[in-house]
Amino acid sequence: MLLEVNQATKLYKRGTEEFKAVDNASLSLNPGEYAVINGQSGSGKSTLLAIIAGLLNLDSGQASFDGTDIGTLGDKKLSALRNEKIGFIPQGQCLLSNFTIIDNVALPGLLAKRKNSRERAKALLDRLGIARLANQYPARLSGGEIRRAAIARGLINEPKLVVADEPTSDLDPANSLNIFELFNEIALSGAAVLVVTHESQKPNGCHKRYLMNDGVLLLES
């Protein structure tokens, strides 16, 4: 099993009231599996992805990647894991404003000392339809173009697990379809893919669909 989450719970407080943002959630993914999580805003989807990426600690339960309990890793090892093996694509603007688009995309590969990172960055930008913007800065791009550049950056190191939080939120239908087709290709190549999305239609090639509501995660039958 590449990714295994068992009874994961994350607690938060609103004033004096405690609530479960993630409530005993369990899921699993093998290499080559493609899964989506659907749910309303505020249902806990982004919190769950942050737990899987090692950005948040659990209050109870366990999240394991490739047999290693993510919660036992220190900051340095977690950063290396996210950079080299987990392609995390967060919501919102996450590019460095003083780097060109191609430098933003290539940066994780350069940090990991991977060869041909700029060439792979060019290929990803081309695959996502924004190769012409390689030497522009983020401030010159639209929201949808920034989103596609962030997706390219998350894929630069050919991760074993891709975790994407609303990757098509700023995209038109044609580009959204292209992104989901790319995720299917990545799964077919042997990586696991987990996508949080508001898209109601199950993507082509998707193996599992989870539904999340008030922190509770259910596997669609």
Residue-wise pLDDT tens digits, 79-104: 999 988 999 999 878 899 999 999 99
Q: pTM for the full model?
A: 0.94
107 pLDDT higher than 80:
yes
Clarify whether residues 81 and 176 are in a common domain. Answer: yes
Q: What is the mean pLDDT of residues 215-220?
A: 95
Clarify whether residues 10 and 73 are in a common domain. Answer: yes
Q: What is the mean pLDDT of residues 113-139?
A: 96
Share of the chain above pLDDT 70, in %: 100
16 pLDDT higher than 90:
no
Clarify whether residues 191 and 147 are in a common domain. Answer: no
Q: pLDDT value at position 64?
A: 97
Q: At what angle do helices 117-127 and 101-111 cross, to 10 degrees?
A: 130
Share of the chain above pLDDT 90, in %: 85
- And the tokens for 10? 């994350």
Q: In what order do the strands lie in the sheet with 3-14?
A: 17-29, 3-14, 60-65, 68-69
201 pLDDT higher than 90:
no
221 pLDDT higher than 70:
no
Q: What is the mean pLDDT of residues 45-60?
A: 95
End-of-domain residue from the set 112, 139, 158? 158
Clarify whether residues 153 and 170 are in a common domain. Answer: no
Q: pLDDT value at position 166?
A: 95
Clarify whether residues 187 and 152 are in a common domain. Answer: no
Domain containing 69 equals 1-85+160-221
Clarify whether residues 57 and 152 are in a common domain. Answer: no
198 pLDDT higher than 90:
no
Scored b (16 or more CB within 10 A) or e, 124-156 reads bbebbebeebbeebbeebeebbbbbbbbbbbbb
122 pLDDT higher than 70:
yes
Clarify whether residues 96 and 106 are in a common domain. Answer: yes
What's the number of domains the chain is made of?
2
Q: What is the mean pLDDT of residues 53-81?
A: 94
CATH of the domain at 81: 3.40.50.300
Clarify whether residues 57 and 146 are in a common domain. Answer: no
- pLDDT class for 132, splitting at 50, 70, 90? very high
End-of-domain residue from the set 109, 132, 158? 158
* Segment holding 82, helix H or strand E: helix 75-84
21 vs 67: CA distance, rounded Å: 25
Q: What is the mean pLDDT of residues 143-160?
A: 96
Q: pLDDT value at position 148?
A: 96
Clarify whether residues 78 and 13 are in a common domain. Answer: yes
- pLDDT class for 57, splitting at 50, 70, 90? very high
72 pLDDT higher than 80:
yes
Clarify whether residues 8 and 38 are in a common domain. Answer: yes
Clarify whether residues 168 and 78 are in a common domain. Answer: yes
Clarify whether residues 104 and 121 are in a common domain. Answer: yes
End-of-domain residue from the set 130, 158, 186? 158
Write the DSSP assignment of 189-203 as a string of letters: TT-EEEEE----SPP
3-state secondary structure of 159: coil
> With contact defined as beta carbons under 8 Å apart, do 212 and 197 qualify?
no
